[in-house]
Amino acid sequence: MINVSNIERFAIKDGPGIRTAVFLKGCPLHCPWCANPETWSTEPLIMHKESVCVSCRECEKVCPVHAVSFEQGSYAVDRTKCIVCGTCVQNCPAQALSVNGTAMSEEEILKEVLKDIDYYEESGGGVTFSGGEPLFQKDAVSLLKAAKQCGLHTAIETTGMVSKQRFREAAPYVDLFLFDIKHIDAAKLKEVTGAGFETIKENFELICSQRGRDVIARIPVIPGFNLEDLDAILAFVRSYPVRGVNLLPFHNFGKTKWHQLQRSYRYDEEKSLSSGELEKYRDDLVSIGG
């Protein structure tokens, strides 16, 4: 079984053509700007929409393990107690609660993906596995293989922060690698995201060195983290035979998910970067947006 966060149909920014994006749970990083913090854990998570909560406290009443409380009138869940049984979700009259995360078999995932195979064939699209880190779960390689056996064009959005062995195992079943390069300063990368640059660099070099591998480097451009170092990061990426480089301007669209998980979001007051602010970096290799 594979733990899935979400399946998004008709995705157009995650590879060529019309695609289905399958977001798998689990990630070794903890990037403070992450748009999908619900994917960090492989386990299901309760999410709470404060904007629609009416504070009726019904969830507190029905929770069988007393994990829910209302501290100073606001919803709170003790995740060390919560067993994600869904009782609170089922009994919430305002539909302020939901569970993120579903265990699915390969067959169930591909059945959903193949619903749109006609669109893939007409547009040159396919399936993109994202996350989190799509290769974090060991069964992801088998899922990629099964997708190829169905004749699908496959892409993965990867942090590169997985074992070299798993990358080698996955490579034959991936048509396009959308590979994140967040920073080349190993100390800064480790401190802010928890990532190991040497592991990422080894996997990036491995994929770029394999003939026939299609690689697009993606750089999330984050103020105060790598915006000031973008020239050096671009120089590093361009020294490899990548098909292109995609600059992803910072946005804070994911902040509502942080709040739904009762987590503090560092970039609450940070303004999104516009594509125009990165225009000077555009050339025949670089595209801006995502």
Break the chain into its structural domains and give their ranges. Answer: 2-41+102-288, 45-100
Alpha carbon separation from 127 to 52, 218, 247, 273 (Å, rounded): 34, 18, 22, 28
- Strand, coil or helix: 177: strand
| Mean pLDDT, the chain, integer | 96
Q: Give the residue-averaged pLDDT of 256-270.
A: 95
The tens digit of pLDDT for each residue in 186-210 reads: 999 999 999 999 999 999 999 999 8
The tens digit of pLDDT for each residue in 118-147 reads: 999 999 999 999 999 999 999 999 999 999
Reported as a pLDDT band with limits 50, 70 and 90, residue 109 is very high
The tens digit of pLDDT for each residue in 146-197 reads: 999 999 999 999 999 999 999 999 999 999 999 999 999 999 999 999 999 9
CATH number of 45-100: 3.30.70.20
Reported as a pLDDT band with limits 50, 70 and 90, residue 18 is very high
User: How many Cα atoms within 13 Å fall on the side-chain side of residue 117?
Assistant: 10
As given in the structure block, the two tokens for residue 279 are: 């225009």
- Strand, coil or helix: 242: coil
Contact status, residue 283 vs residue 254, Cβ threshold 8 Å: no
In this predicted structure, what is the pLDDT of residue 186? 98
The tens digit of pLDDT for each residue in 24-55 reads: 999 999 999 999 999 999 999 999 999 999 99
Length of the chain: 290
CATH number of 2-41+102-288: 3.20.20.70
- DSSP label of 275: G
Q: Give the residue-averaged pLDDT of 201-227.
A: 94
212 has pLDDT over 80:
no
226 has pLDDT over 70:
yes
At residue 195, what are phi and psi to the nearest 5 degrees?
-85, 150
- DSSP label of 266: T
Angle between the N-to-C axes of helices 106-113 and 140-149, in degrees from 0 to 180, rounded to the nearest 10: 50
| Bond preceding residue 131 cis, omega within 30 of 0 | no
234 has pLDDT over 90:
yes
Reported as a pLDDT band with limits 50, 70 and 90, residue 290 is low
Q: Give the residue-averaged pLDDT of 78-97.
A: 97
As given in the structure block, the two tokens for residue 55 are: 């504070």
- DSSP label of 137: S
Give one DSSP letter per residue of 64-90, joined into a string. Answer: TT--EEEETTEEEE-TTT----SHHHH
C-beta atoms surrounding 272 within 10 Å: 12
In this predicted structure, what is the pLDDT of residue 73? 86
Contact status, residue 99 vs residue 93, Cβ threshold 8 Å: no
| pTM of the shown model | 0.94
As given in the structure block, the two tokens for residue 137 are: 């779960």
219 has pLDDT over 90:
yes
